[in-house]
Structure 1
Amino acid sequence: MNTPHEWITTPIGPGILRGALDLERTDRGVLPHRLPAHARAQIPDGQLAMAEAQPSGVRLAFRSRATTVELDVIATKRVYPGAPRRPDGVYELLVDGRHAGRASARDGDTLTIDLASGASHTRPGPVETLRFGGLPDAEKGIEIWLPHDETTQLVALRTDAPVHTQRPGGRPVWLHHGSSISHGSNAATPTGTWPALAAAHSGAELINLGFSGSALLDPFTARTLRDTPADLISIKIGINLVNTDLMRLRAFGPAVHGFLDTIREGHPTTPLLVISPIHCPIHEHTPGPSAYDLGAMSEGRLRFTATGDPAETAAGKLTLTVIRDELARLVDRRTATDPHLHHLDGLDLYGEDDHADLPLPDDLHPDPATHRLIAERFARLAFGRGGPFAGRNR
């Protein structure tokens, strides 16, 4: 075993980084992306650009006898003037699949965003070193999960023993796309998002394309799903279309068909699961757009409200109830020619009765306990006996 001054620095690249679809070399390090460069070139807004660079589901994975691991990072801290301070992102260490430590970068770049105008500016900050010590002196699998909601540039990986590539070990690759709920909003840790929990429970290798505020049936996202190798695919559609008030019912059905058609170009027989929205009282029968609850913000609380008029559904405005009904009909029609296409009602993951016990703390996103509930139910309904992914887990 090497002494502390004999650090081994391992280049950070695709061989030890999972869950990212692209790596951008910057003048300070490596920035993981969850959308490839050609898709990023077509992003129309800063929300998706920020979300896809937040490494939800991205982790370093390798084998080593190392007893100490150091990771130099530059984290991006988001500040919203007038809103509660966001907690620092969490880096989680797993050894042979078991939790063995966690750390946070207390400083870094600072991105300040004005919620009223959308204007933003960034202040550069320092590199911070995260240290994980006291690991067993034996060959083992090591994973470091990056913060799901905090953009992270990776500067250097150091260990006191050589690093070897660790392959997924035959686990099926599960490619998932969804909204901020899939991204992990309000989850406490990167392994505590519902997709990460469901993947761990079912023995799947996760690629998480959940993008906060941006599950909007974008064609470049469909092409990314089409071109990414996967054994299992799921898409969770609905809430962002309502809370952005992006389209009407007339456009929704054809847009979903086009999204699925594009995926099928690259995955003609891959099990493909369409998931409708979970229960969200503010938008069950009231269209968007969503807005920040200014009264709650004045009290230091972050909450959301629906600003649409329920009567506008007659003119084609979307609500979660409308979307669930339409998705169920659409998938049912397509299964006549696509037996590998499946539907899961989001209310089976989190419904009205669940909301009574585990309300959404900001009226839009689940808390950590609800992420666990959704994960347990998804693992049972999708990967369990009779589910569309049954027999595909380890």
Structure 2
Amino acid sequence: MTTPHRWITTPITAGLLHGALEVEHTDRGVQPHRLPAHARAQCSDPQLAMAESQPSGVRLAFRTRATAVELDALPVKRVYAGAPPRPDGVYELLVDGHLTDQAVVTGGDTVTIDMATGSSETRTGAAGTIRFTGLPDRLKDIEIWLPHNENAQLVALRTDAAVEPLPDRGRKVWLHHGSSISHGSNAATPTTIWPALAASLGGVDLINLGLGGSALLDPFTARAMRDTPADLISLKIGINLVNLDGMRLRVFTSAVHGFLDTIREGHPTTPLLVVSPIYCAIHEDTPGPASFDLRALSTGKLSFLAEGDPAERGAGKLTLKGIREELSRIVEQRAAEDPNLSYLDGLGLYGEADYAELPLPDELHPDTAAHRRIGERFAERAFGSGGPLPAKDA
């Protein structure tokens, strides 16, 4: 007969949540945020609100002798009318850094979105529970990585032994900002998104400001990065500016300089790596905007296409090739006075040959296998020996 657990409930506080910039206590639970309140107040875009509240890279982390852990959480499931069902967000358990178990939380709220009209309808549900049992009976470090692609308010944490915050493990903090690719779109689980893989391989602690659809050189994001303690910083710029068709080359150049200037106000000598876009066939030579491919959607497939005219690049419209050229030029110019600023060509992480082997399923986002390739290459090029983001002190 199994002995029932004697549960200890531990308040979920900022000290247990790694990778979040802010923790909000609501009437339904604890909401991790990846942008602070003053940044969120400066933009009413629902896409940004959804992206920053999805806890990509955020994990509950603590030390304990517990052999059983329960977590109550309130997910927000998103359903896109006419599109294939989205998989449930995955919670992953790591014990002393090793993946040990996975679970999904059922229930919660459901938001149904009509992509043709942009309208949405919300159905409210109850919190669900995940349970991890049979853990080794010794003092150990536990991490529960929260879903990268599903909003999750945390309601209660229970264990059968006391919990304490993780002590400082001496790792450098890596602060990264990018688009939905950095957010983890099309990766299967939170530890298989490329920034999580790169952080694991590099032995650094990740703060992931990959914000789906929202890497737009927003000044409030630059200020959030300026004010966040970090040992290593990277900035992956490009794809959202093209597929939103949000600016022209003249404005782009000034915006990049301004973004870097703001980060440097708080991190004047921190190693800072600017990364250009990975290969994306639809936008290499064709400007945005991007849109859903309605013909593909009618067959049940989610895909994107580019609607711009390649001839308009001469008028300053942005393409990925143009952005790579300009980012390289900007970094070369600034590096003359900023020796800790470096550039990494995104084609070295995922290029045309990789696309032929591991195509983007929706023509925009890499799948899990491609995320692994990008993460491994980034770790080697950025964190490896002689790389621009030294993960270990010399």
TM range (shorter): over 0.9
What CA deviation, in whole Å up to 9, does each residue of 1:22-77 have, x standing for no partner? 11111111000000010010123100010000000000000111111000000000
1:3 to partner: Cα distance: 5.7
1:314 and 2:314 matched:
yes
- Counterpart in the other structure of 1:323: 323
Amino acid of the residue matched to residue 180 of structure 1? Answer: S
* Kept in 2: contact 1:203–1:393 (CA 8 A): no
What does residue range 1-394 of structure 1 map to in structure 2 within 5 Å? Answer: 4-392=4-392
The residue identity in structure 1 corresponding to 2:38 is H
Measured in 2, the distance between the counterparts of 1:383 and 1:187 equals 22
Quote how far apart the aligned CAs of 1:5 are: 4.8
Residue 259 of structure 1 aligns to a residue in which SS?
helix
Amino acid at match of 2:174: W
Q: Count how many residue pairs are aligned between Structure 1 and Structure 2.
A: 393
- Structure 2 length-normalised TM: 0.98
- In the alignment, the residues of structure 1 paired with residue 303 and residue 150 of structure 2 have an alpha-carbon distance, to the nearest angstrom, of 20
Q: CA deviation at 1:112?
A: 1.5
Aligned counterparts of 2:290 and 2:167: Cα–Cα separation in 1: 42
Contact 1:172 1:232 in 2 (8 A): yes
CA RMSD of aligned residues (A): 1.2
Residues 114-123 or 348-357, more deviating:
114-123
The residue identity in structure 1 corresponding to 2:304 is F
Q: Distance in 2 between matches of 1:317 and 1:117?
A: 27
Unpaired segments ≥5 residues, structure 2: none
Measure the CA separation in 1 of the matches of 2:52 and 2:15: 21
- Cα distance per residue 1:107-139 (max 9 Å; x no partner): 210112221222223211111010000101111
One-letter code of the match for 1:41? A
Secondary structure of the equivalent of 2:177?
strand
Deviation digits for residues 195-222 of structure 1 (CA, Å, limit 9, x no counterpart): 0000000100000000000000000000
- Give the counterpart letter for 2:384 in structure 1: G
- Higher mean C-alpha deviation, range 115-124 or range 6-15: 115-124
Q: How far, CA to CA, are the matches of 1:316 and 1:391 in structure 2?
A: 38
Deviations 1:129-161 (A, max 9, x none): 100001011111101000000000000000000
Q: AA paired with 2:99?
A: H
Q: Secondary structure at the match of 2:14?
A: coil
Q: 1:87 to 1:168 in 2, by over 3 A?
A: farther
Per-residue CA deviations over 1:154-200 (Å, capped at 9, x if unaligned) read 00000000001113401000000000000000010000000000000
Cα pair 1:202 1:393 within 8 Å, conserved:
no
Distance 1:168 1:122, change over 3 A: farther
Q: TM-score, normalised by structure 1?
A: 0.98
**Distance apart, 1:350 and its partner CA:** 0.4
Distance between the aligned counterparts of 1:331 and 1:167, measured in 2?
A: 37
Any conservation in 2 of the 1:172–1:393 contact (CA below 8 Å)? Answer: no
CA distance in 2, matches of 1:168, 1:219: 31
Give the unaligned 5+ runs of structure 1.
none
Letter in 2 for 1:72: D
How far apart in 2 are the matches of 1:91 and 1:275? 29
CA distance 1:336–1:59, change in 2 (3 Å): same
Structure-2 separation of matches of 1:5 and 1:266? 47
1: CA distance, partners of 2:205 / 2:147: 18
Write the letter of the residue equivalent to 1:336: A
Aligned letter for 2:274?
V
The percent of aligned pairs where both chains have the same amino acid is: 70
Write out the 4+ residue segments of structure 1 that deviate beyond 6 Å after TM superposition: none
